């Protein structure tokens, strides 16, 4: 919640503006205090007052009556309640700790411009189908996005699409462009390849119920910004041109700054481990990285620049686009741990050399998904696509796994820990997910009592504590399964719960399971779809019987009535089929 917003609420709820203050409280409490989870103070204050009292109170403030002495007590209580709301929300906004990969420790999250928060995450290079490894950063930073919003932040979430400049050897910055190579192999335009796999990526992300980012910029759409950034680096003396290409001078940068501060790599190590290869002779040092590459005659993607017709280096796009959309300094930069070096290390160097300061306040990295102890990656050929997971169409899979099973599988491990793929682990995740959904589905069967023997609010506090501790989703899930246990005890009558408690229990699941963890009940609607299919089969059979009896009027009537209802019948040789319009 905006601090100005806080003060406006308090001011307008003063005794001088009693009715206006009450209306403001109701509106602003609803839209502002997203992190507030305690019992509704306004309901508690109102429990002994009739609706006519509030109506008269509101009218009194709107009409500006001077004599409202009998309402002063309520105005005073509003002040007290608002103080609690403000303090609670401020604590929620300022109690999140995240592990900063740069400092190598957990730090309390302090936004640069609260209540606004800027989040940049490295997205995919779109030259093949999305695999399980891609799902992990997508779900990790979707969780962060959701939780920041839950705490009351207004988040600008930027996730890029790399559609140019990512060469096969990303460490040395050499080899063929990955998208260009795919385009040549499939005899397509590079942007056809990009469009195909961007659409596939978006489809898979929607299946996993990840929220779309606020902005999803593409590297090819920001060539001008990247060229301008190179000009600044040349002017500042941290880059040099060679034979139409431009390289970042790491030795020059390291004279003033510390290259390797994120990954722990030191310059001497880079010098000893970097080999001289063909085409590297135009660099001053073999470990310098490309900001702009002159395109060879056969290279498909190229743009004009002051130095040559060519294309930007892979690392440049994120520096240019993050600053464009989030400013010279922003809150959080995220990505997979495999991007720490060289990609994010080079980003830090570029941005610092251009701006004279670091752009990112918090670096966050999710760990890898492994298969047989090895990183799952397209380049290693050991990956399983999400479509294969969802259909079971892969030799390593014993069955199909639903999108929510995959999401649960990833959330049940902390984002900084390694997850090893196995059918056993996915099957265990499937059982856990189904158990959680079954309990939520049983809430309507719980009988309400006059009093409660359980305290649901404690579980809500524990879930917040877990997520405030560097997004500890497995601990949050353990508390939610404690709530599942309580549901079962309530169903068999071992425990009791009153109306307010049941509302809190429902709110607990709604807030943490659906809104924050982003799970959805995949079974919802399945029964309806099955019933619809069975009813349509009966209708089609009745129509076929009418046709067999040459009762064309009944046959046509069934077809026309279905069409009016939005269902189209198609008569085929093997029988009729139906589909929704």
Answer positive or negative: Cα dihedral of 73, 74, 79, 85. Answer: positive
Task: Report d(CA 143, CA 392) in Å as an integer.
Answer: 26
Can you give the pLDDT at residue 75?
A: 61
Q: Give whole-number Cα distances, 498 to 60, 440, 481, in Å.
A: 35, 17, 21
Percentage of the residues of the chain whose pLDDT score is greater than 90 = 62
Q: Which two tokens mark 468? A: 């405030």
pLDDT digit string, tens, across residues 243-262:
999 999 999 999 999 999 99
Predicted local confidence at residue 48, as pLDDT: 41
CATH architecture of 386-516: Up-down Bundle (1.20)
Residue 209 corresponds to which tokens in the numbers above? Answer: 């119920």
49, pLDDT greater than 70: no
The secondary element (H helix, E strand) that includes residue 533 is: helix 526-548
Residues facing 289 on adjacent strands: 248
What's the CA gap between 508 and 497, in Å, rounded? 14
Res 362: pLDDT: 98
Cα gap 228→223, rounded to integer Å: 9
DSSP state of 499: H
Q: For residue 360, what pLDDT band results from cuts at 50, 70 and 90?
A: very high
Using only C-alpha atoms, what is the Rg of the chain? 29
Q: Specify the range with the lowest mean pLDDT, choosing from 33-42, 292-301, 331-340.
A: 33-42
282: phi then psi, degrees, rounded to nearest 5: -80, -5
Indicate whether this model's pTM tops 0.75. yes
Can you read off the two tokens belonging to residue 393? 């169409």
Residue 45: the pLDDT is 38
- The whole-number average pLDDT for the span 552-564 is 87
Identify the CA nearest to 34 among candidates 161, 137, 153. Answer: 153
Q: Is the confidence at residue 82, as pLDDT, over 80?
A: no
User: 3-17, 20-34, 46-60, 270-284 — which one is most confidently predicted on average?
Assistant: 270-284
Most confident of 10-24, 71-85, 275-289, 562-576: 562-576
- 32 pLDDT above the threshold of 70: no
- Coil, helix or strand at residue 267: helix
Confidence at residue 36, expressed as pLDDT on a 0 to 100 scale: 35
Q: How confident is the model at residue 50 (pLDDT cuts 50, 70, 90)?
A: very low
- The pLDDT tens digits for 188-246 are 999 999 999 999 999 999 999 999 999 999 999 999 999 999 999 999 999 999 999 99
pLDDT value at residue 474: 98
Q: Give Cα 466 to chain centroid, integer Å.
A: 18
Both tokens assigned to 338: 């495999």
Tell me how far apart the alpha carbons of residues 224 and 230 are, in angstroms, rounded to a whole number. Answer: 10
d(CA 530, CA 539): 14
Mean pLDDT, the chain, rounded, equals 84
HSE toward the beta carbon, residue 363, CA cutoff 13 A: 22
d(CA 140, CA 467): 12
Query: Residue 420 contacts by C-beta under 8 Å, 6 or more apart in sequence?
Result: 369, 370, 371, 372, 373
pLDDT value at residue 430: 97
Backbone angles phi, psi at 130, to 5 degrees: -70, 130
Virtual torsion, Cα 296, 299, 301, 302, nearest 10 deg? 20
The mean pLDDT of 172-187, rounded to a whole number, is: 80
Classify domain 100-366 by CATH number. Answer: 3.40.50.620
In this prediction, residue 30 carries a pLDDT of 34
Span 554-580, average pLDDT:
82
For residue 167, which of 383, 343, 384, 368 has the smallest C-alpha distance?
343
Quickly state the pLDDT bin for 281 (edges 50, 70, 90).
Answer: confident
Query: Quick check: 180 and 126 in contact, CB under 8 A?
Result: no
Residue 165 has what pLDDT?
Answer: 65
Q: What is the mean pLDDT of residues 533-554?
A: 86
Assess whether pLDDT exceeds 50 at residue 450: yes
pLDDT at 571: 85
pLDDT attached to residue 283: 93
Specify the residue for token string 């695999």.
131
Whether residue 6 is predicted with pLDDT greater than 50 in this model: the reply is no
Q: Check residues 38 and 90 and name the one with the higher pLDDT.
A: 90
- Report whether pLDDT(76) > 80: no
Report how far apart, in Å, the C-alpha atoms of 515 and of each of 142, 143, 146 are: 11, 9, 7
Mean pLDDT of 378-401: 89
Q: How confident is the model at residue 13 (pLDDT cuts 50, 70, 90)?
A: very low
Q: Which carries the bigger pLDDT value, residue 553 or residue 159?
A: 159
Our CA dihedral for 442, 445, 450, 455, rounded to 10 degrees, sits at 0
Share of the chain above pLDDT 70, in %: 78
Of 417, 388, 414, 415, whose CA–CA distance to 400 is shortest? 388
Rounded Cα distance between 212 and 230, Å, is 30
* Dist CA 509 CA 489 (whole Å): 16
What confidence tier does 169 reach under pLDDT thresholds 50, 70, 90?
Answer: low
What pLDDT, on a 0 to 100 scale, did the predictor assign at position 46? 39
Element spanning 106, H or E: strand 105-108
- What is the predicted pLDDT for the residue at 369? 93
Question: In the structure, what pLDDT confidence band is assigned to residue 62 with cuts at 50, 70 and 90?
Answer: very low
């Amino acid at each position: 919640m905006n601090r100005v917003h806080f003060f406006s609420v308090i001011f307008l709820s003063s005794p001088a503006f009693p009715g206006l203050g009450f209306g403001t409280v109701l509106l602003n409490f609803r839209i502002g205090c997203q992190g507030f989870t305690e019992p509704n103070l306004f309901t508690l204050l109102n429990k002994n007052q009739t609706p006519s009292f509030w109506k008269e109170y509101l009218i009194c403030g709107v009409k500006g009556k001077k004599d409202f002495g009998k309402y002063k007590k309520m105005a005073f209580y509003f002040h007290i309640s608002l103080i609690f709301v403000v303090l609670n929300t401020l604590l929620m906004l300022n109690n999140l700790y995240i592990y900063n990969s740069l400092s190598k420790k957990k730090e309390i999250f302090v936004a640069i411009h609260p209540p606004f928060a800027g989040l940049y995450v490295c997205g995919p290079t779109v030259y093949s189908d999305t695999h399980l490894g891609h799902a992990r950063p997508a779900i990790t930073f979707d969780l962060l996005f959701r939780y920041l919003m839950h705490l009351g932040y207004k988040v600008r979430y930027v996730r890029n699409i790399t559609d140019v400049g990512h060469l096969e050897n990303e460490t040395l910055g050499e080899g063929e462009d990955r998208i260009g190579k795919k385009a040549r192999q499939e005899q397509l335009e590079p942007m056809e390849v990009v469009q195909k796999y961007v659409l596939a990526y978006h489809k898979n992300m929607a299946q996993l119920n990840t929220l779309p980012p606020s902005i999803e910029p593409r590297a090819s759409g920001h060539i001008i910004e990247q060229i301008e950034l190179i000009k600044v680096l040349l002017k500042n003396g941290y880059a040099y041109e060679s034979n139409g290409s431009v390289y970042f001078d790491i030795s020059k940068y390291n004279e003033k700054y510390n290259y390797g501060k994120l990954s722990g790599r030191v310059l001497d190590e880079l010098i000893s481990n970097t080999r001289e290869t063909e085409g590297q002779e135009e660099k001053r040092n073999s470990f310098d990285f490309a900001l702009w590459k002159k395109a060879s005659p056969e290279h498909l993607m190229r743009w004009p620049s002051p130095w040559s017709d060519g294309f930007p280096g892979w690392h440049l796009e994120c520096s240019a686009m993050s600053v464009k959309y989030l400013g010279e300094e922003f809150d959080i930069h995220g990505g997979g741990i495999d991007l720490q070096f060289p990609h994010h290390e080079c980003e830090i160097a570029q941005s610092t050399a251009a701006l004279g300061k670091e752009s990112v306040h918090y670096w966050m990295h999710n760990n890898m998904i492994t298969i047989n102890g090895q990183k799952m990656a397209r380049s290693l050929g050991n990956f399983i696509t999400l479509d294969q997971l969802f259909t079971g169409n892969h030799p390593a899979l014993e069955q199909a796994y639903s999108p929510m099973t995959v999401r649960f599988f990833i959330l049940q491990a902390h984002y900084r820990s390694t997850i090893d793929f196995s059918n056993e682990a996915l099957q265990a995740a499937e059982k856990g997910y189904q158990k959680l959904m079954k309990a939520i589905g049983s809430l309507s069967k719980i009988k309400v009592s006059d009093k409660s023997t359980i305290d649901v609010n404690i579980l809500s506090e524990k879930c917040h504590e877990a997520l405030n501790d560097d997004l500890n989703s497995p601990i949050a899930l353990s508390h939610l399964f404690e709530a599942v246990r309580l549901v079962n005890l309530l169903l068999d009558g071992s425990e009791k719960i009153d109306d307010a408690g049941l509302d809190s229990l429902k709110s607990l699941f709604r807030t943490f399971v659906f809104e924050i963890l982003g799970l959805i009940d995949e079974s919802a609607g399945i029964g309806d779809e099955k019933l619809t299919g069975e009813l349509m089969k009966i209708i089609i059979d009745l129509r076929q019987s009418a046709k067999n009896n040459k009762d064309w009027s009944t046959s046509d009537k069934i077809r026309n009535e279905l069409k009016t209802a939005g269902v189209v019948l198609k008569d085929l040789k093997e029988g009729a089929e139906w589909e929704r319009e």
